[in-house]
Structure 1
């Protein structure tokens, strides 16, 4: 992989992590504010886990940490779990969060596999 291609992929992945972080935080906050907060507990927890993982992943990639490929794998898993839960709910914020999580998971998975090769 060329340095330019890697840099572009890295920047895209960082942006996807930041977008996912924002959408997860919004989704968790909306879940906490809803009348059905008890029904949203798992969604809220997974959104919080995903947001924290995305934050850490973006930071590792930004500083080109030697651990960023492993962090990308963990982030992809957190995003997949969050997306699967959000897809169970009908609210707009859950739909947006699930889409953002799927995009981030794909990007992180590509990052992890391209660097491991």
Structure 2
């Protein structure tokens, strides 16, 4: 799998709202920053993702405008736009912003080790 393929699979995994699809794409030492906080390691990240999945029903998630800032045989860094929409507390909701992901090739397998999601620039 290439870094580009990994990000495509990650987008699909997030849209599925199933941790079992997201988990293999993340490094054990993953660190994720959302607007709700920073979560370190798979256990904390798992809880954060499950909370998001439980909060946003029928979520549709997409990644676009990927820019590869660094891409070599062991490290890849990409910046992108993300959008989501779903149902929160029975009401339609949506959002989006900018993301940065750092991927590493560990033992021949590409995985996300860092993700930072934030708002679009003003």
TM-score (norm 2): 0.26
Higher relative contact order, structure no. (Cα contacts within 8 Å, ≥ 6 residues apart): 1
- TM-score of the two chains, using structure 1 as the length reference: 0.27
Q: Which has the higher helix share?
A: 1
Q: Higher strand share goes to which structure? A: 2
